[in-house]
Amino acid sequence: MGAVGHEMIKTLEQRKFPVGTLVPLDVAAMAGKTVRYNGADVIVQEAKKGAFVGVDVAIFSAGADASLVLAPVAVAEGAIVVDNSSAWRMDPKVPLVIPEVNPQALDAHNGIIANPNCSTIQMLVALKPIHDAFKIKRVVVSTYQAVSGTGGKAITELTEQAKAFASGKPIVANVYPRQILFNALPQIDVFLDNGYTKEEMKMVNETKKILDPAIEVSPTAVRVAVYRGHSEAINVQTEKPFSIPDVRALLAKAPGIKVMDDPSKLVYPTALDAEGKDETFIGRLRADPTIPNGLNMWVVSDNLRKGAALNAVQIAETLIERKLLK
Ligand SMILES: NC(=O)c1ccc[n+]([C@@H]2O[C@H](COP(=O)([O-])OP(=O)(O)OC[C@H]3O[C@@H](n4cnc5c(N)ncnc54)[C@H](OP(=O)(O)O)[C@@H]3O)[C@@H](O)[C@H]2O)c1
C-alpha cells in the first residue's frame, strides 16, 4: 500500500467514517498481507475484476495506469469510485471535487469522481472565498512541494540521501533526476511542449474546471527537500478592491482554513505546522502594491491529507450528505 493508501486508512478511522467492511486492495504480490484498521488486522486482497462486488465506495490511490483500467471495472461492479490519480480529472463526464469549493458537482456523477491534484486543492480552498467576494482574474503561484507528493519511494530516497550524506557515502538519485537532499528542483512531473511541466498545467486546467474558467493561472512547481506538506506563494489579482483586514476576516471564517498571520510575533505557517493536520493554513497576507487589487499570501497544507486522503474521504462523506450513495 502506498503513501496515500496508508493515510486513507488512518483518515477513515479518525473521522469515524461509517465503514461496514473495509476491503483493502493492492497489487497481487501484497495479497494476503494485513493492514491495521480500528485495532484489527484486515487481510489485503488483489485489486482485480470481481474485487469490487458489494463495495459501495472504492477509493483509489494506485496511480493513473491502475485507475484507467480498474475504475470502470469497479463502477460496473456497483461501486462509486473516488480516484486520487490524474487519470480521470479532465474527463468532462467526471466531477472534479473539493467539498469546500464545488460539492454540487457531485450531483452529476456517473460513477467516477476525481480528487484534484494536491497543489490545486490547497490553492483553491484558499482562493474560493476570495473569488466569491472579490472575483479573481489572475493568479501567479510558486509551489514548494514535499517529496511525499511523489509517493513512498521518494520518501525513502530523501532518507537514503540524508543517511549517505551523514556517513560520507556517495548520494544516489533514482526517483528524481537530481539530488533532492539540500536542493530545490524546478521540475514536477514531465515537461510539456509549452515549456511548463504537467504538474503546472494541472494547476491551470483544474482551477478552470473547479472554480472558474475565466481565472488565469501562471504556475511554477518546485520540489523541495521536505517530507510532508506543500507550501505555495500565491499572488492574486481581483476585479473588485479589498482591504487586507477584510480578506483576513473572510478567510478566518471559511471552511477548511486556519489563518496563521501575525508577522509581529513571527506567526506564519510552515510545512511542519501542517503535518498530520486537516486545515489549509494561510499567512503572510499582504497587499501587492505593484498591481491594482493585488494580494500576496503563503498557503500550506499536508499533501497526504487535504491534498489526497482527507479530500477523498470528505467526498465520500459529501456523497452521504447529498444522498448520492445507494
Ligand atoms: N502523495 C500525494 O501527496 C498525492 C496527492 C494527490 C494525489 N496523489 C495520487 O495518488 C496516487 C497514489 O500516490 P501515492 O503517493 O500513494 O503513491 P505510492 O506511494 O507510489 O503508492 C501507490 C501504490 O499503488 C500500488 N499499485 C500500483 N498499481 C496497482 C494496481 N494495479 N492495483 C493496486 N495497487 C497498485 C503500488 O504498489 P507497488 O509499489 O507494488 O507498485 C503502491 O503501493 C497517485 O496517482 C498520485 O498521483 C498523491
Interval 113-134: pLDDT, tens: 999 999 999 999 999 999 999 9
- State mean pLDDT over 39-53: 97
Q: What integer pLDDT is reported at residue 326 of this predicted model? A: 73
Mean pLDDT value of segment 212-218: 98
* 63 found inside a domain: yes
DSSP at 220: E
Element of type H or E holding 141: strand 136-145
Partners of 34 in the β-ladder: 43
For residue 299, tell me if it sits in a domain.
yes
User: Looking at ligand 1, which residue's alpha carbon is closest to its atom 1?
Assistant: 149
Q: Give me 302's grid cell.
A: 499536508
Using pLDDT thresholds of 50, 70 and 90, give the confidence band for residue 1.
confident
Q: Ligand 1 atom 21: the closest Cα is on which residue?
A: 2
CB 161 within 8 Å of CB 168: no
Report the alpha-carbon distance of residue 46 to residue 259 in Å, rounded. Answer: 43
Which residues are known to be catalytic? 118, 230
DSSP string, 87-135: SSTT-TTS-B--TTT-GGGGGG--SEEEPPPHHHHHHHHHHHHHHHHH-
Q: Which atom of ligand 1 is nearest to the CA of 29?
A: 40
Neighbours of 24 (CB within 10 A): 19
pTM: 0.97
Place of cell 472575483: 135
| Same structural domain, 95 and 128 | no
Do residues 111 and 123 both lie within one domain?
A: no
Does a structural domain hold residue 326?
no
CATH code where residue 152 lies = 3.30.360.10
| Residue with CA nearest ligand 1 atom 26 | 62
Cα 113 to middle of ligand 1, angstroms: 17
Determine if ligand 1 sits within 6 Å of the CB of residue 68.
no
pLDDT tens column, 67-84: 999 999 999 999 999 999
Is residue 178, in this structure, part of any structural domain at all?
yes
CA 266 – CA 243 distance, rounded (Å):
22
Give the Å distance between the CA of 62 and the centre of ligand 1. 4
Give the mean pLDDT of the chain: 97
82 occurs within a structural domain: yes
Provide the terminal-to-terminal Cα distance of the chain, rounded to the nearest Å.
Answer: 28
CA of 61 to the centre of ligand 1 (A): 5
pLDDT score for 44: 97
